[in-house]
A = this chain, B = another copy of it.
Amino acid sequence: MSGNTFGKLFTVTTAGESHGPALVAIVDGCPPGLPLSAEDLQDDLDRRKPGTSRHTTQRKEPDQVEILSGVFEGQTTGCPIGLLIRNTDQKSKDYSAIKDIFRPAHADYSYHHKYGQRDYRGGGRSSARETAMRVAAGAIAKKYLATQGIMVRGYMSQLGPIEIDFKSWDAVHDNAFFSPDPGKVAELEAYMDQLRRDQDSVGAKITVVAQGVMPGLGEPVFDRLDADLAHALMSINAVKGVEVGAGFACVAQRGTEHRDELTPEGFLSNHAGGVLGGISSGQPIVAHLALKPTSSITTPGRSIDTAGQPVEMITKGRHDPCVGIRATPIAEAMMAIVLMDHLLRHRGQNAEVQVSTPVLPQL
Contact = CB atoms under 8 A, between A and B. Distances in A.
Nearest to A343: B348
Nearest to A311: B262
A62 interface: no
Interface string A207-245: 000000011111111111011111111110101111111
A139 to B, nearest CB: 17
Nearest to A298: B255
A353 B124 contact: no
B20 A69 contact: yes
Given A110-B215, A253-B292, A256-B297, A2 B29 contact: yes
Contacts of A348: 9, 29, 344-348
A306 B357 contact: yes
Interface residues of A, number: 170
Given A82-B15, A256-B200, A24 B24 contact: yes
A146 interface: no
A69 B216 contact: no
Contacts of A280: 110
Nearest to A160: B252
A180 B1 CA distance: 37
A84 B82 CA distance: 10
Contact of A359 (B69, B113, B201, B294): B113
B263 A310 contact: yes
A130 B221 contact: yes
A102 interface: yes
A293 B304 CA distance: 45
Interface stretch (A40-48, A50-58, A71-79): A71-79
A98 interface: no
Interface stretch (A168-176, A182-190, A268-276): A268-276
Contacts of A276: 105-110
B31 A350 contact: yes
B216 A113 contact: yes
Contact of A79 (B15, B215, B239): B15
Interface in A105-142: 105-119, 121, 124-126, 130
A240 B243 contact: yes
A335 interface: no
A255 B222 contact: no
A149 interface: no
Interface string A324-338: 100000000000000
B291 A254 contact: no
A43 to B, nearest CB: 21
Contact of A308 (B32, B118, B358): B358
A165 B212 CA distance: 42
A358 to B, nearest CB: 5
A206 to B, nearest CB: 10
Contact of A290 (B15, B250, B344): B250
The 7 closest A-B pairs by CB, nearest first: A107-B277, A3-B219, A348-B348, A201-B255, A231-B231, A3-B223, A110-B279
Given A15-B68, A22-B84, A202-B255, 9 more contacts: A4-B219, A105-B259, A202-B254, A203-B250, A226-B239, A241-B250, A247-B290, A253-B292, A255-B295
